[in-house]
Amino acid sequence: MADLPIAAVIRIAKKSGAERVGSDAAVALIAQTEDYIACLVKEANTLAIHAGRKTIKKEDIDLAVKSM
């Protein structure tokens, strides 16, 4: 089961211009979004460890986004 709420994903899609979002599309969006977040966190965690920290900071996220 997905961790992101379907209603929130549909709301974001509508704010981004979608008139309607099917439930299957919302589930696909959630899956892709969760995969992206997982990859982003892995990269940010690598950067934090490289900097000698256990805590991921905003700067790690920013650098991870640029490297992806």
What pLDDT is recorded for position 1? 61
Q: How are the residues of the chain apportioned to helix, strand and coil, as percentages rounded to the nearest 5? A: 70, 0, 30
Q: Are 40 and 24 in contact (CB under 8 A)?
A: no
CA–CA dist 18, 35 (Å, integer): 22
What pLDDT is recorded for position 68? 84
The span from the first CA to the last CA of the chain, in angstroms, equals 26
What pLDDT is recorded for position 2? 74
Domain ranges (residues) in the chain: 6-67
Average pLDDT by stretches of 10, the chain with 68 residues? 88 96 95 96 98 97 94
- CATH fold, domain 6-67, is Histone, subunit A (1.10.20)
- The residue type of 60 is D
Q: pTM score, two decimals?
A: 0.85
